[in-house]
Amino acid sequence: MTKSKLLYLGAATALLAVAPAAAGNFQSLDDLDVAVAAHAGAKIGDPGGARTPIDRRLKLKACPDAPSVSGPVLGAAVVRCEPIGWSIRVPLRLDAATSGATNSNNGAPRTMAARQQERDAIVRGQAVRLTVEGRGFTLSRTMIADANGKIGDMISVRADRSSKPVLARVVDIGEVSVSGI
């Protein structure tokens, strides 16, 4: 063999030896998707399940224990690795669930969303969670509401009293959302 072929063969062997080790340093996102689906009892995209798979660009250090899944909290499952200290929120597809409450007009069941729309979900001055959702990711931040609002209303929120307001839609009690990418 020529010297260049030996060099190439040696470099290729070194890359193959390093690749599995590098892959082992990151948490398997497929495993996290499965854990969220098992916790929610629904597949990705189904009602109650994750809206989308976890963004594959995310690189989390491999958790030495099985990550825990809790929630839903503010419309998302929370996946945590306690030993390392990371956590992510996975947006869920939560559809309005019916309860035993009935409408006094016709006796038909009312949804939880219909009952919540009858009262303010956010009160002026309340700390709210602002969520920006994009394809495969969710960013959130605590803000202060400038006005009262029912679910579906558009209200302004700000980071603090001196910052510029952001117009957001009320999506749940204590939660507002802005359309993302």
pLDDT at 17 over 70: no
Q: What is the CATH number of the domain that holds 152?
A: 2.30.30.760
Residue 83 lies inside a defined structural domain of this protein:
yes
pLDDT tens per residue across span 123-132: 888 888 898 8
Q: Is residue 105 part of a domain?
A: no
Domain count, the chain: 2
Domain that includes residue 77, residue range: 25-91
For range 36-45, the mean pLDDT: 87
Residue 90 CB-density burial (10 A; 0-12 exposed, 13-18 middle, 19+ buried): buried
The per-residue pLDDT for 38 is 87
104 in a structural domain: no
Is residue 137 in some structural domain? yes
- The 10s digit of each residue's pLDDT in 116-151 is 445 678 888 888 889 887 777 778 888 999 999 988
Q: Tell me if 50 sits within 8 A of 93, measured CB to CB.
A: yes
Whether 134 is covered by a domain: the verdict is yes
Pair 123, 172 in one domain: yes
Does the residue 11 lie in any domain? no
pLDDT over 70 percentage in the chain: 72
**pTM for the model:** 0.44
